[in-house]
Structure 1
Amino acid sequence: MDTTIAYESKNLIDAEQVAAYLLENPDFFSKFPQLIENITIPHAHKGSVSLVELQGEKLRKKVRSLSQKLNQLTFIAKQNEVIYRVYTELNLRILKCTNLDDLKFILEEVIQENLQLSSVILKPFKGAHALPEIQRRLFIEKRFKRHKFFFGRLSDHERRLLFADQEANSVALLLIGDLGELGILAIGSKDPGHFNPDMDTLLITQLQQFLGVLLPKMLTA
């Protein structure tokens, strides 16, 4: 074997070795700045561009992406603040209610107008407008197996039982009472994805607790 060829083959550097060296020495191009402008990289739309141009373009894309994420977070924070204020006002107003009709009116007015939701139904389990026992069992056995709330979509039959002809493409259902013995608050949205199992429950379960305190007094009055 030719000793010259053997020597050269031992000293060949492949692309992986170059890449590994540059990763281990990130300041390489600061030591050899003259190389940066001479290196060209194929670009799908611009032909060949310099390393500086490519790095600049990537940096601009990263800044745009971060800016979009920041705007999204700001928008969500503003939405959450609005929702928090609506629920705070609602809880204060229902505390002043003295009868079931007033309570239903306040729930409908605040939730439908301020949160732009399509329907609000309060179905007590006792009294003249009580939900029939067979329907009560249907919802408790099907929708409240693990929790005293349900977020998502109902079957057409279930939706008609609670909402009649009102729109409710996704719903929030809350059992009222420590044992869920007082009634159901049903809130409907036109948006099929508005209420979903992954949504935060803090504010709506606070409303559930307020109603659990108020309803017993109204149902026995």
Structure 2
Amino acid sequence: MSKKAEELERMEGKIASYLAKNPEFFERHPELLENLKIDHKIYGSVSLVERQILNLRNRSHDLQERLTDMLDNAQVNSDLLMKCSQLAVGVIRAESRQQVADTVLEELRRHFDIDDCQLWLCDNDEDLQRVNYSDSDTLYKLTDQQFIHKDPVCGRITESISQLFKSDKKLQSYALIPLGDGAEDGLIALGSSNVELFTADMGTLFLRFIGDICEACLAKK
């Protein structure tokens, strides 16, 4: 860097420091604002005031978009909560394990926009209809999951995980809801032909709620 460039940089630093400490400077010298010009990628050379107005408009637009997204998400979450509540009420009212299983499968298929729903249990003390049975080791191999802390997992369908389903449709995404610690009691497998319905980074709070309700009701009936 040349000596002149270094001197210019020091001077600019002093100016910037002074303006930062004296924000009222331009209030005392409003004529400077009218003469200052700043390059803008879209509108070319604009005054500082015009640049501030454009920035405020952009910020307003961004905030409006964020608010719209928040409202949309709130509506989606409200709908999901209502559906989960209906499922919970139905499962709690069930008088047998068979009714619990039937209610879970019917409610999930009817209200959650999925193409396939399978209930897998590791306890085969009784032969429930519409229920699949397997040992936990086999489920671990098929899913390649350990289900830490009962957290559901979601993602793209793999050849291995596709064996959990019976749908004739080409499933693209899945959600696996463990029942019991480490899915020791089984799991609920949800499959969708929509690749974006279940993603690895999605929130699983409502799925966890469904799993906890089903696990508790299956254990008590």
Deviations 1:31-89 (A, max 9, x none): 01122112222333333222211111111111111111111111111111111111011
Residues 4-35 of structure 1: CA distance to partner in whole angstroms, max 9, x if unpaired? xxxxxx9xx83333222222221111001122
CA distance in structure 2 between the aligned counterparts of 1:99 and 1:168, rounded to whole angstroms: 31
Q: Alpha carbons of 1:213 and 1:41: their partners in 2 closer, same or farther (altered >3 Å)?
A: closer
Contact preservation (8 Å) 1:40, 1:48: yes
Assess, with a 3 A threshold, how the Cα gap between structure 1 residues 107 and 130 changes in structure 2: closer, same or farther.
closer
Candidates 168, 171, 175, aligned match of 2:178: 175
- How far off is 1:217 after superposition? 5.7
Do structure 1's residue 24 and structure 2's residue 26 form an aligned pair?
no
**Paired residue for 1:139?**
139
Alignment of 1:61-140 (within 5 A): 61-99=58-96, 102-125=99-122, 126=124, 127-128=126-127, 129-133=131-135, 136-140=136-140
CA offset at residue 197 of structure 1? 4.3
Segments of 5+ residues of structure 2 without an aligned counterpart are 1-6
Residue identity matched to 1:185: I
CA distance in 1, matches of 2:176, 2:70: 28
Partner of 1:201: 204
- Aligned counterparts, 1:32-43, within 5 A: 32-43=29-40
**Preserved CA contact (<8 Å) 1:118 1:167:** no
CA shift in 2, pair 1:54/1:179, >3 Å = closer
Is the Cα–Cα contact under 8 Å of residues 182 and 216 in structure 1 kept in the other structure? no
Give the distance between the partners of 1:52 and 1:175, measured in 2 at CA.
Answer: 58
- In structure 2, the partner of 1:4 is none
Cα-Cα RMSD: 2.9
Query: Are the structure 2 counterparts of residues 33 and 162 from structure 1 closer, same or farther at C-alpha, using a change threshold of 3 Å?
Result: same
Amino acid of the structure 2 residue aligned with 1:144: Q
Change (3 A) 1:130 1:188: closer
Contact in 1 for aligned 2:35/2:47 (Cα 8 Å): yes
Partner of residue 188, structure 2? 185
- Name 1:215's counterpart in structure 2: 218
1:55 match: 52
Q: Secondary structure at the match of 2:42?
A: coil
Change beyond 3 A, Cα 1:208–1:54: same
Instruction: Flag the 1:170–1:47 CA change in 2: closer, same or farther, 3 A.
Output: closer
Larger Rg: 1
- Distance in 1, Cα, partners of 2:201 & 2:43: 44
The whole-number CA distance in structure 1 between the counterparts of 2:115 and 2:165 is 13
Alignment coverage as a number of residue pairs: 206
Where 2:106 maps in the other structure, the secondary structure is helix
Conserved in 2, the CA contact under 8 Å of 1:144 and 1:150?
Answer: no
Cα distance in 1 for residues equivalent to 2:35 and 2:78: 53
Closer, same or farther: CA 34–132 of 1 in aligned 2, 3 Å? closer
